[in-house]
């Protein structure tokens, strides 16, 4: 049944707590700040919050390096404040999804501190340790996502440990059953505090290829996904925790394809409820380029449509889609795939229309609902370890990309564009904090902020409100079939949803040119439109979008 799961009808909002709302003037967003904004979130109409990590952490990777999974970092507040947030959110009818980072911990975690002490203690096998090659070098040529080798030598144990991300983020050894049981216990702990579900950080990396084969190319990350026991571990976690505790799950799955996604999300497999695909995020990346995610090309709309459509079809009767354009790892979609100067309102609403018209659970990333854009930063303004690690790797050491080219790519896709503090108003520090923000505020905040947006006749926030209510009130979004129209058109994204003989069209011109409408003057009722459109047949203006019942 489609209606038996709350998350199928839900719209989820992601909060990056460090940048959401600061209440004590230390320049860092905090839990009281989230509580303060519950009415804002409620009025937007969202049903759940996914909150990026708030646990005790040295913040090498902004909280994705966790020291203690059961303790809230004092920079965000106390455990009691977190429990209060869960309570207040529930009182407002909003669910809480926490971030589950169990591929790795911080190197400051007690487990790792003990593990590195010797080869024979209780924690020795909590992480992945390997002897050096006879010449003392790394066990193989695997690379870290943040640049350099995925192995770091530990002088105490005289061994290397594995880290797919920073050296300060050692990978856990899921082969060890005690590790798995400890993780399940941590999940039950948060269930007991009222948490409703989990977003699972790189959950498809938890099983390693224990042969540790070299990659064909040095220091790339091609080894990291879908290891041999991945499905087994995820199924076990489902049976131990997710199903008995009735917790929703959305896993991050960088390598999943539409064709194999069902292996993770088909209900009878009892693994996960949803996964975040990366496929559509790569429509502006040169595939196979040595500069990885910094090798960009123009976005390819035909591919975007094909990929999203493939996922719609593949999971229609065999799982459920998680729909997103932005998150804390992704740049602002208006700046990345649209035009954030001339057509900011139009792009924000057009991309929203296209995404929310699909079948699945939409995720809104903080600031997306007011049309926040990328920040024009110098190298030193960026904070992200991924950006600086990759700059060292590609620009300084390999010299495979020039400084200027790298900076151009960073302006398009750096993770920091999503992490700049939320712009609430045109007051000092965009109303985010009374103190100096931990990351530079986007210079365009006096023009782009929640207060100005809501006062505007062309409010992106209000458009989202309408869109969310439209979904809630019309089952066609939940259940209707999907068909892509004009798949090869390079400007228009048009699809139809059909239920019980009724058809709705979701239409967007994702280009900067006027386009003739492909529709004759057939009768249609406009359900939502970003430019006050009345008929199907008039020309489509740049980034015009609407949903119509025909």
- Identify which of 140, 106, 161, 278 has the alpha carbon closest to the alpha carbon of residue 220: 140
Q: Could you tell me if 139 and 153 are in contact, meaning their C-beta atoms sit under 8 angstroms apart?
A: no
Is residue 26 a contact residue for Ca ion (CB under 5 A)?
yes
Is residue 22 a contact residue for ligand TEU (CB under 6 A)?
no
Is residue 30 a contact residue for Ca ion (CB under 5 A)?
yes
Partner from Ca ion, ligand TEU, none contacting 28, C-beta within 5 to 8 A by type = Ca ion
Is residue 61 a contact residue for ligand TEU (CB under 6 A)?
yes
- Identify which of 199, 424, 438, 169 has the alpha carbon closest to the alpha carbon of residue 329: 199
Say whether 488 is catalytic: no
* Dihedral-angle region of residue 322 (phi above 0 means left; psi in -120 to 50 means alpha; beta otherwise): beta
Per DSSP, what are the bridge partners of residue 50? 14, 97
User: How open is the CA angle 152-55-201, to the nearest 5 degrees?
Assistant: 60
Is residue 405 a contact residue for Ca ion (CB under 5 A)?
no
Which range binds Ca ion by CB under 5 A, 26-34, 86-94, 390-398, 436-444?
26-34
Among 22, 346, 386, 544, binds Ca ion (CB under 5 A): 22
Partner from ligand TEU, Ca ion, none contacting 305, C-beta within 5 to 8 A by type = none
Say whether 177 is catalytic: no
**Which residues contact residue 155 at a Cβ distance below 8 angstroms, ignoring those fewer than 6 apart?**
none
What's the closest the beta carbon of residue 370 comes to ligand TEU, in angstroms?
22
Interface with ligand TEU in residues 239-258 (CB under 6 A): 252, 254
Among 7, 16, 55, 64, binds ligand TEU (CB under 6 A): 64
Partner from Ca ion, ligand TEU, none contacting 35, C-beta within 5 to 8 A by type = none
- Dig out the tokens for 448 from the structure: 């782009």
Size of the site for ligand TEU (CB under 6 A): 14
Q: How far apart are CA 64 and CA 52, in angstroms?
A: 8
What's the closest the beta carbon of residue 101 comes to ligand TEU, in angstroms?
6
Q: How far apart are CA 491 and CA 486, in angstroms?
A: 10
Size of the site for Ca ion (CB under 5 A): 5
CB closer to ligand TEU, 196 vs 386: 386
- For CA atoms 190, 192, 193, 194, the dihedral sign is positive
Q: At what angle do helices 460-473 and 344-356 cross, to 10 degrees?
A: 10
Q: How far is CA 333 from CA 275, 373, 489, in A?
A: 20, 8, 20
The mark string for 397-436 relative to ligand TEU (x by CB under 6 A, - otherwise) is ------------------x---------------------
Is residue 368 a contact residue for ligand TEU (CB under 6 A)?
no
Among 293, 388, 398, 451, binds ligand TEU (CB under 6 A): 293
Partner from ligand TEU, Ca ion, none contacting 165, C-beta within 5 to 8 A by type = ligand TEU
> Beta 481-485 vs 525-529: how paired, if at all?
unpaired
Is residue 196 a contact residue for ligand TEU (CB under 6 A)?
no
**Residue corresponding to tokens 């591919």:** 303
Q: Could you tell me if 247 and 195 are in contact, meaning their C-beta atoms sit under 8 angstroms apart?
A: yes
Catalytic residue of the set 22, 99, 107, 201: 201
Catalytic residues: 201, 252
Q: Where does this chain bind ligand TEU (CB under 6 A)? A: 61, 64, 101, 145, 165, 201-202, 252, 254, 293, 328-329, 386, 415
Q: Where does this chain bind Ca ion (CB under 5 A)? A: 22, 24, 26, 28, 30
């Amino acid at each position: 049944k489609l209606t038996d799961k709350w998350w199928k009808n839900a719209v989820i909002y992601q909060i990056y707590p460090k940048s959401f709302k600061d209440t004590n003037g230390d320049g860092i967003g905090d839990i009281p700040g989230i509580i303060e904004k519950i009415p804002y979130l409620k009025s937007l109409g969202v049903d759940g919050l996914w909150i990026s990590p708030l646990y005790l952490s040295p913040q090498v990777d902004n909280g994705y390096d966790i020291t203690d999974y059961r303790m809230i970092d004092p920079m965000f507040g106390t455990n009691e404040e977190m429990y209060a947030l869960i309570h207040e959110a529930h009182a407002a009818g909003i669910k809480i999804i926490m971030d589950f980072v169990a591929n790795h911990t911080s190197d400051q975690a007690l487990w790792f501190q003990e593990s590195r002490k010797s080869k024979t203690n209780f924690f020795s096998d909590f992480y992945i340790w390997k002897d050096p090659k006879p010449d003392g070098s790394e066990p193989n040529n695997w690379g870290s996502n943040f640049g350099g080798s995925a192995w770091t030598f530990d002088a105490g144990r005289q061994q290397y440990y594995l880290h797919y991300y920073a050296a300060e983020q050692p990978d856990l050894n899921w082969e060890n059953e005690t590790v798995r049981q400890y993780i399940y216990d941590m999940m039950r702990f948060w269930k007991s505090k009222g948490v409703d579900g989990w977003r699972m950080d790189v959950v498809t990396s938890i099983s390693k290829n224990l042969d540790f084969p070299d990659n064909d190319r040095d220091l790339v990350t091609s080894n990291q996904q879908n290891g041999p026991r991945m499905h087994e571990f995820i199924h076990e976690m489902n049976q131990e925790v997710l199903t008995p505790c009735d917790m929703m799950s959305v896993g991050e799955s960088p390598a999943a394809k539409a064709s194999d996604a069902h292996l993770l999300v088909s209900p009878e497999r009892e693994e996960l409820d949803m996964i975040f695909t990366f496929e559509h995020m790569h429509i502006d990346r040169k595939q196979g380029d040595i500069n990885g995610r910094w090798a960009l090309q123009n976005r390819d709309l035909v591919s975007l449509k094909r990929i999203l459509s493939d996922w719609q079809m593949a999971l229609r009767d065999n799982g459920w889609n998680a729909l997103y354009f932005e998150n804390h790892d992704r740049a602002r979609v208006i700046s990345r795939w649209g035009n954030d100067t001339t057509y900011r309102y139009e792009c924000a609403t057009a991309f929203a229309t296209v995404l929310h018209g699909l079948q699945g659970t939409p995720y809104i990333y903080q600031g997306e609902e007011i049309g926040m854009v990328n920040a024009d930063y110098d190298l030193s303004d960026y904070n992200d370890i991924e950006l600086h690690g990759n700059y060292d790797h590609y620009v300084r050491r390999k010299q495979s990309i020039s400084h200027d080219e790298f900076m151009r790519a960073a302006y398009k896709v750096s993770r920091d564009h999503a992490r700049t503090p939320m712009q609430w108003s045109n007051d000092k520090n965009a109303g985010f904090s009374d103190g100096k923000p931990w990351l530079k505020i986007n210079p365009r905040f006096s023009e782009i902020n929640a207060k100005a947006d809501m006062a505007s006749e062309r409010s992106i926030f209000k458009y989202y409100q309408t869109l969310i209510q439209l979904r809630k009130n019309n089952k066609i979004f939940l259940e209707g079939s999907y068909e892509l129209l004009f798949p090869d058109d390079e400007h228009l994204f048009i699809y139809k949803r059909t239920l019980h003989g009724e058809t709705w069209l979701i239409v967007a011109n994702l280009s900067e040119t006027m386009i003739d409408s492909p529709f004759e003057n057939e009768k249609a009722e406009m359900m939502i439109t970003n430019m006050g459109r009345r008929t199907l047949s008039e020309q489509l203006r740049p980034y015009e979008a609407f949903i119509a019942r025909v």
